[in-house]
Amino acid sequence: MRAHRMAVLGCTALLAVAACGGSDDDGGGGENAPSGGGGNADTYVLGTTDKVVALDPVGAYDLASQQLIGNIYQNLLSVPAGGNTPEPDAAESCDWSDDKTYVCKLKPDLKFSSGDPLTAEDVKFSLERMLKIADPTGPYTLLGSLDSVEATDPQTVTMKLKKVDATWPFILTHNVAAIVPDEIYSDSEKQPDDKIVGSGPYKLDKYTPNQQAVFSANPEYNGPNKPQTPKVLVQYFEQASALKLAIEQGDVDVAYRSLSPTDIEALRNSNAGVKVVDGEGTEIRYAVFNVKKKPVDNVAVRQAIAQIVDRQAIVDSIYKGTATPLYSTVPSAFPGAKESFKDKYGDPDPAKAKQLLDDAGVQTPVELDAWYTPTHYGPVEVDLWNELKRQLEGSGLFKINLDSTEWDQYKEEAFDKGTYYFYGLGWFPDFPDADNYLTPFMRDGGFFVNGYSNEEVNKALDAELASQDSGEREEQFGIVQDIQAEDVPVLPLWEGKQVAAVREGVEGVEKTFDPAFQFRFWLVTKKES
Amino acid sequence: MSRAGSLRGYILIRIALMVPMVWVLLTVVFLMMRVAPGDPISATLGGKLSPADLDERREALGFDRSLFVQYLEYLWDAVRFQFGTTITDGQTIGSILVENGGATLTLTVAALVFALVVGLPLGLIAGRYRETLPDAAIRIFAILGYAAPPFFIGLLAQLLFAKNLDWLPASKMASPIVQAQAETYTHILIIDLAIDGNWDGVWDVVKHLILPAVTLGLLVMGVFIRLVRVNVGQALGGDYVEAARARGVPERRVVSRHAFRNALVPVVTVMGLQVALLLGGAVLTEQTFSWPGLGTRLLQYLNSRDYIGVQGLITVFALVVVVISLLIDIINALIDPRVRY
Amino acid sequence: MTATTSVTGTPDKAPEAGPPKRRGGLLSRITAPYRQSHGIQRFMLVSGTAISLAMILMAIFAPLLAPYGFDTYQDADGRFPTQGEPSDRNPWGTTVQGFDVMSRAIFGARTAVEVVLLAVAFSLMIGVPLGLISGYIGGWLDRVLVLIMDALFAFPYLLLAIVAAFLLSNTIDSGIVVTAIAITVVYVPQYFRVVRASTLSAREATYIEAARAIGAKPRTVIARYLFPNVIQSVPVIATLNAADAILTLAGLGFLGLGIQPSEAAEWGYDLQRAIADAGAGIWWTALFPGLGIVLAVTGLTLVGEGLNDVLNPTLRRRRVDRPVVQSRRAVGSSAVGPASAPEVEEDAGQ
């Protein structure tokens, strides 16, 4: 019967194709053209699920864009791998000429990948256009302290600030201060993604939005971070599970952001030629209390919660080693970080918590409404809050009504309307300075308007901003963190490690994991397979 | 409505009817997106900036002008085929269509091909052997193909063929190297690679295409099976078939020449109806396989509350369905003189 | 959506129907299809009904059948392990959140039944009356409604549901209601079209004219004469729509829209959480929800198709004595007509 035969033929054809696929596809993609160099491949592939918003610094205030921008452009200063303070990068030296003026001397002979020279004019242009364009999705608000910038000579940039701001050198390391060529970029519009030009170690050869970005070493680059691998491909994935399969099959060499804790654990234990590397991170999770609302307006209630929370249990059961307990909103990698919550509360102790509540005359169990948002911070958020609920109820002192709303409504209820009084948030830094983890939370209600305001905190923050002495700043940070543990307007929970899965033979990834939160393409090499 | 109309009249009337329908669609899409809570600024920056900062940025984007003004602007843009620029990643809808449309097209066409190649013969067998075991088995197979959601089948397929057997890649449209090397002519990757003569690349894309196309194809395969089965069954009971049998024509010829050929006619019509189903299923399939098509983009913009992106893509989807059903109706009218206005 | 579009043929062609039948009680009418079908057809109908009934029973008796609640994470012996293998304590294992898989699968059936019943109820309450009125009265109301319904019909159904769910999820608290409404939005046009087509063809019948002649008001004509006639086509569509609705619900759950895990167990959502598990070789969190979906949809589709075969045949064997060659074929086999070439040879459902 002809139809019969057709069907059989069709199925056989499909099977044949699948079988042929098997023989060709051994060990996966990522074949490399034969390279000259001593044993290292000339290309590696980085896989990620992050979504790039813009490649012109003017429009980029998200992590994914930052990862690329940090490799395409240069800044006056940058935090070197493994470090935590700004060092000169495009600049030869930078210093304060008075307490509100910051002067940088550029290195000579700097060029963009287009061949145009990089001068102080470009720096001035970059900063001014950032403020002029003020793109709604961009980081321009970070330059709030800048009053004016001048190119006092072709190699010198003078920046005058509106107020004393010790974080300014750190701000200059952020992509808000990435240097773009004034010959090519417009001062009123965002540069299209396919015409990106920078002076950094890599240049962008080809960009297919949300699919792939192709980089090659910038021949005009004149800086300390020489690329060790000539070509880098960045592959974008929709699902973490697809990324995981890709790294197992060798389609990508590095998988960075964002594999779930389950995936990471599985990869750690597998023998598929993959190993997991991690390092300090700067992403944190914390809970916010609206200190004007009952029942958390009573500090004893907040302190009791801080006394009960078992961060180690959370980190072990839910995050499986991809996070560590956090005892202050300042992550431990930062100079000035102090484990104030640990100092004050020690180990989780429901008995002590009961004591606190009794002393304050609070009736137990205390009934609380707790809120979280289920997708904005990833699917594991729900597990975190279920665990918190279990811990608090397990002490017998609390009854928790747990609910969730999607991000849009969530932030409106939380910040604008102040309906929620105990809810969860996450944070990743703008720049690697402890101030970026204190001011947004502790000063006069913080960005989330939680009603907390403390004179001593404000004084300490003013002091650290005004000082350029790191010892003094650390002391002031310590004061703020101690007050934080005492008053508990926020409850730090965990800090995330930066984690990546890499194929055997790939080196250098762990070196880039530091408080700067910048994946440095130039550090990574891959052995020729 | 007179039955004996002209073909041209029919086509003109159908096109004219399309206009109000498109207008209704556009309005519905606009209302949906404006009524939706949230905005792209809060979605991305809501956890970092103060409410005052957020408001300032929202104003800059013109979010607080009157709804009616925004509606008129939207209609005017739509008429000129300008569907705007997304907020969260600064792409124009047009460029999204160009970049990602090819991938969705490749996937849906491949899925359709699979559904036809498998569904038609199976339908024939089922129709020929109606009310017997092969028929029942085929019908159940068709139902299962529809009942198992694409993300379940996709997941199982990935586990089996990609992870366990390692025969086929689990996701994406091509290997990174192939994609990096491809020159763009038509923005349809597989065609571009063929134009270049990069047959290894073409083969690479085909390998990536198999699992998603089969997953999506199973969804519509059932429809074709059912249709062919029914029509073959019908045809086999018809008068002229009886006559042929009476004349002594061998059963095989009866089935293949008379029944099967007739059964194919309505397949074209039904294919048009399946476009809507395919597009919906494509969204889920693309998500499961990280396939870089329009469905993936749509979900991305939904999640980031980028209403321009969502609006633009949904409008495009709806228009595509409308246009295709128009084409199908025209083809139908050409084939079947009974269908006229 | 596919199932239902091919059932009814074009919107303008509905199964022929005569005046409403009055013989037999309700029970005999319900069991009629089972009695009238034969062979493979009956097997499919019966097995479909069995599966569907099993699902419904599972839904109703969930608290009794399931070992734990859908969000229970511990018992007297302490907390469940997360992603634990099937064991005595958790027969089908546990999820990444430490919930019992078997309980969630069973309660998932309950969620599915709840949402689908709600959605079908809403769709019927809106679609049927609209179709009746529109078909009977005609005029500009009819034209406007047809335009809107056609526009909604043109939308890829999942996209419509996604957008509707996304819109409603912040205004209405109950995820179940939100999902039900989202599904309703998608399926109202279906019912509307079918009922309207039925109405259009039925309203020209003689008995309707007679009713009008004796002075019956439009409301009476619609409610007493048209409605029982037209309603015949609905059960089949409702069943097939219910099957579709489960898929749409799972799709929405998979994409994270609609029902939150603390509210109810939902198969699609569980599948999405299970994707990460599957890569690690944890199969039990994906298999059972997936099977739940497949079985529920298959059961309902079998019933729907089986009913359709029996109730709405557009092809009947002519009752002529045939040469021996044909005698093996079952009498009364039927088929569903395609869009453009139906061949109605005998009345339905006699």
The per-residue DSSP string of A97-160 comes to EETTEEEEEEPSS-B-TTS-B--HHHHHHHHHHHHHH--TTS-GGGGGGEEEEEEEETTEEEEE
> Is the pLDDT higher at A154 or at C165?
A154
pLDDT score recorded for residue A309:
95
Which residues in chain B are closer than 8 Å to C151, comparing Cβ atoms?
21, 24-25, 28, 318
Q: Do C170 and A406 touch (CB under 8 A)?
A: yes
Cα A262–chain centre separation:
21
Q: In this structure, how many other beta carbons lie within 10 angstroms of the beta carbon of residue C344?
A: 16
Which of A320, A234, A326 is CA-nearest to residue A276?
Answer: A320
Confidence check: pLDDT of C237 > 70: yes
B251 three-class SS: helix
Which residues in chain A are closer than 8 Å to B43, comparing Cβ atoms?
376, 407-408
In the 3-class helix/strand/coil scheme, how is A466-512 assigned residue by residue?
HCCCHHHHHHHHHHHHHHHHHHCCEEEEEEEEEEEEEECCEECHHHH
The per-residue DSSP string of C137-193 comes to H-HHHHHHHHHHHHHHHHS-HHHHHHHHHHHHTTT-S-HHHHHHHHHHHHHHHHHHH
pLDDT score recorded for residue C4:
39
CA–CA dist A416, A426 (Å, integer): 18
State which residue of chain B sits closest to C306, comparing Cα positions: B139
Confidence check: pLDDT of A525 > 50: yes
Please calculate the CA angle B258-B263-B268 and round it to the nearest 5 degrees: 135
Confidence check: pLDDT of A490 > 90: yes
* Chain B contact partners (≥3 CB pairs within 8 A): A, C
Please report the residues numbered 139 through 168 in chain B whose beta carbons come closer than 8 angstroms to any beta carbon of chain C.
139-140, 143-144, 146-149, 151-152, 155-156, 159, 163
Retrieve residue A398's tokens: 């609390």
Q: Do B146 and C297 touch (CB under 8 A)?
A: yes
pLDDT score recorded for residue C210:
81
Q: Determine the residue type at A454.
A: N
Closest partner CB to C159 (pick from B37, B132, B283): B283
Please calculate the CA angle C328-C329-C331 and round it to the nearest 5 degrees: 120
pLDDT score recorded for residue A141:
87
H/E element holding A203?
strand A202-208
pLDDT score recorded for residue B339:
53
| A21 vs B: CB within 8 A | yes
CA–CA dist C264, C262 (Å, integer): 6
Confidence check: pLDDT of A1 > 60: no
pLDDT score recorded for residue C322:
35
> Is the pLDDT higher at C313 or at A199?
A199
Which residue, among B17, B120, B128, B151, would best test binding to C if mutated, counting the most C CBs under 10 Å from its CB? B151
Which residue, among C252, C260, C263, C266, would best test binding to A if mutated, counting the most A CBs under 10 Å from its CB? C260
pLDDT score recorded for residue A126:
94
Q: How confident is the model at residue C346 (pLDDT cuts 50, 70, 90)?
A: very low
pLDDT score recorded for residue A200:
93
Read off the pLDDT of residues C24-44 as tens digits, 9 standing for 90 and up.
566 766 677 777 767 777 888
CA distance, residue A104 to nearest chain B CA (Å): 29
pLDDT score recorded for residue B99:
85
Q: In this structure, how many other beta carbons lie within 10 angstroms of the beta carbon of residue B94?
A: 16
CA distance, residue A130 to nearest chain B CA (Å): 14
Q: Do C280 and A383 touch (CB under 8 A)?
A: no
Interface contacts (A, C; CB < 8 Å): 50
pLDDT score recorded for residue A259:
86
Overall average pLDDT of the C266-279 stretch: 81
Q: Are A196 and A490 in contact (CB under 8 A)?
A: no
CA distance, residue A374 to nearest chain B CA (Å): 12
Lowest-pLDDT range of A397-406, C163-172, C228-237: C163-172
Peptide bond connecting A340 to the previous residue in cis, omega within 30 degrees of 0: no
Closest partner CB to A402 (pick from C79, C262, C277): C262
CA–CA dist B295, B310 (Å, integer): 10
Percent of chain C scored above 90 by pLDDT? Answer: 7
State which residue of chain A sits closest to C270, comparing Cα positions: A379
Which residues in chain A are closer than 8 Å to B256, comparing Cβ atoms?
1-3
Q: How confident is the model at residue C208 (pLDDT cuts 50, 70, 90)?
A: confident
Q: Do A449 and B206 touch (CB under 8 A)?
A: no
CA distance, residue B236 to nearest chain C CA (Å): 11
Which of A526, C150, C279, C177 is CA-nearest to residue B23?
Answer: C150
Q: Do B170 and A30 touch (CB under 8 A)?
A: no
Percent of chain A scored above 90 by pLDDT? Answer: 52
pLDDT score recorded for residue B160:
80
Peptide bond connecting A365 to the previous residue in cis, omega within 30 degrees of 0: yes
pLDDT score recorded for residue C186:
84
Which of A209, A269, A266, A302 is CA-nearest to residue A488?
Answer: A302
Phi and psi for C24 in degrees, rounded to 5?
A: 80, 150
pLDDT score recorded for residue C339:
27
Q: Determine the residue type at A299.
A: V
> Is the pLDDT higher at C140 or at A408?
C140
Lowest-pLDDT range of A14-28, A208-222, A319-333: A14-28
CA–CA dist C5, C237 (Å, integer): 9
CA–CA dist A80, A67 (Å, integer): 15
pLDDT score recorded for residue C14:
43
Confidence check: pLDDT of A190 > 80: yes
Q: Where are the alpha helices (DSSP H) in A337-449?
A: 340-345, 350-359, 381-394, 407-411, 435-442
Closest partner CB to A239 (pick from C83, C170, C275): C275
Which residues in chain C are closer than 8 Å to A403, comparing Cβ atoms?
262
Please calculate the CA angle A272-A275-A280 and round it to the nearest 5 degrees: 155
Q: How confident is the model at residue A23 (pLDDT cuts 50, 70, 90)?
A: very low
Overall average pLDDT of the A159-184 stretch: 92
Q: What is the ipTM of this complex?
A: 0.77
What single-letter DSSP state applies at residue A190?
Answer: P
Q: Are B245 and B258 in contact (CB under 8 A)?
A: no
Highest mean pLDDT among A198-202, C155-159, C252-256: A198-202
Q: Determine the residue type at C172.
A: I
pLDDT score recorded for residue B58:
77
Measured over the CA atoms of residue C209, residue C214, residue C218 and residue C222, the dihedral's sign is negative
Q: Do C97 and A383 touch (CB under 8 A)?
A: yes
Number of C-alpha atoms within 13 angstroms, CB side, residue B71?
14
CA–CA dist C341, A115 (Å, integer): 70
Read off the pLDDT of residues C279-300 as tens digits, 9 standing for 90 and up.
666 778 888 899 999 999 999 9
Q: Do C278 and A241 touch (CB under 8 A)?
A: yes
Overall average pLDDT of the A98-121 stretch: 91
Confidence check: pLDDT of A258 > 90: no
> Is the pLDDT higher at C87 or at B4?
C87
Angle between helix B7-35 and C157-168 (nearest 10): 20
pLDDT score recorded for residue C290:
92
Overall average pLDDT of the C319-341 stretch: 31
Decide: residue C72, CB within 10 A, 0-12 exposed, 13-18 middle, 19+ buried.
middle
| A3 vs B: CB within 8 A | yes
CB proximity list for C6: less than 8 A, separation 6 or greater: B223, B226, B227, B270, C336, C338, C339
Read off the pLDDT of residues A295-320 as tens digits, 9 standing for 90 and up.
899 999 999 999 999 999 999 988 98
CA–CA dist B168, C339 (Å, integer): 38
Which residues in chain C are closer than 8 Å to B238, comparing Cβ atoms?
343
Which residues in chain A are closer than 8 Å to B207, comparing Cβ atoms?
17, 21, 24-25
Which residues in chain B are closer than 8 Å to C108, comparing Cβ atoms?
none
pLDDT score recorded for residue B239:
66
Please report the residues numbered 410 through 429 in chain A whose beta carbons come closer than 8 angstroms to any beta carbon of chain B.
411-412, 415-416, 425-427
Overall average pLDDT of the C11-36 stretch: 56
Which residues in chain B are closer than 8 Å to A238, comparing Cβ atoms?
286-287, 290, 296, 299-300
Overall average pLDDT of the A457-476 stretch: 90
Overall average pLDDT of the A312-339 stretch: 91
* Chain C contact partners (≥3 CB pairs within 8 A): A, B
Confidence check: pLDDT of A17 > 60: no
pLDDT score recorded for residue C85:
82
Confidence check: pLDDT of A424 > 80: yes
pLDDT score recorded for residue B337:
61
State which residue of chain C sits closest to A245, comparing Cα positions: C279
Closest partner CB to C5 (pick from B144, B151, B273): B273
Which residues in chain C are closer than 8 Å to B119, comparing Cβ atoms?
none
Decide: residue B164, CB within 10 A, 0-12 exposed, 13-18 middle, 19+ buried.
exposed
B74 three-class SS: helix
What residue ranges of chain B have pLDDT lower than 70? 1-6, 32-40, 43-44, 46, 62-64, 238-241, 254-266, 268-269, 272-273, 335-341
CA gyration radius, chain C: 23
A48 three-class SS: strand
Closest partner CB to A240 (pick from C83, C96, C276): C276
H/E element holding B211?
helix B199-236
CA–CA dist A452, B164 (Å, integer): 55
> Is the pLDDT higher at A217 or at A2?
A217
